[in-house]
Amino acid sequence: MKVEVITQPNGTVITLIELKNFLKIDLTDTTDNTLLNSLIEVAIENFQDYTGAILRPTGYRVTQHSINSSRIVDLRFLYPISEITLRQYKNENDTNFINSIDFEDILDKYSYVLIKDNIPICRTTNFKIEFIAGFTTIPNLAKHILLMYIAFLYENRGDCNCQDTQGIPKHLQSLMNRYKISVFV
């Protein structure tokens, strides 16, 4: 399975003003603005890497060559999915992908696409699915976890590798686990 980002994340999760208020930094002090903005992005990226939960609406394309006998394309690794915008398939004799409504979208916490029986599937069938994943409104708990994580990174700057998700403190990992979906293969 190949996953591509086709539209960049849209919207803000935490504003600089919200973060400065949380950290009790004077809003007129611009000394660390660049650092704080980068820590917001690092925290979002690490949260998403750790949990699989996408915080800002982002467009993705999944291309899968062949499908298992259950006829399911599992999309749980990126959630929440708000909309599936394209469903196509192509067999070895087709030159182009074929749009199809013969898919059933299951958009809940365990998102997947079920390929209906009237689509002929052989071992060379390719599938292309495009969708939007990400919260339209950030849950308050997720926002608070990010604020605490950024505060940790800010207070410990220079002392930790903030690009490493293993550097997430255990108490924050236990809170992030509420957003984590385990996918067993």
Each residue's pLDDT, cut to its tens digit, for the chain (185 residues) gives: 899 999 999 889 999 999 999 999 999 999 999 999 999 999 999 999 999 899 999 999 998 877 767 777 778 788 888 888 888 888 777 778 888 777 777 766 567 777 777 676 666 678 888 999 999 899 999 999 999 999 999 999 876 555 555 689 999 999 999 998 765 54
Strands 112-115 and 98-99: unpaired
Both tokens assigned to 166 = 């293993």
Both tokens assigned to 57 = 């609406």
Please give the single-letter amino acid code of residue 150. I
Both tokens assigned to 19 = 């973060």
Model confidence pTM above 0.85 = no
Burial (Cβ within 10 Å: 0-12, 13-18, ≥19) of residue 185: exposed
Query: CB of 15 within 8 A of CB of 27?
Result: no
Please report how many Cα atoms fall inside a 13 Å half-sphere around the Cα of residue 162, on the Cβ side.
Answer: 21
Domain ranges of the chain: 2-55+137-179, 58-133
E strand intervals along 75-176: 81-90, 98-99, 103-106, 112-115, 126-133
Cα separation, 149 vs 146, in Å, equals 5
Residue 104 phi/psi, 5° resolution? -115, 120
Closest CA to 129 of 146, 154, 104: 104
pLDDT attached to residue 161:
56
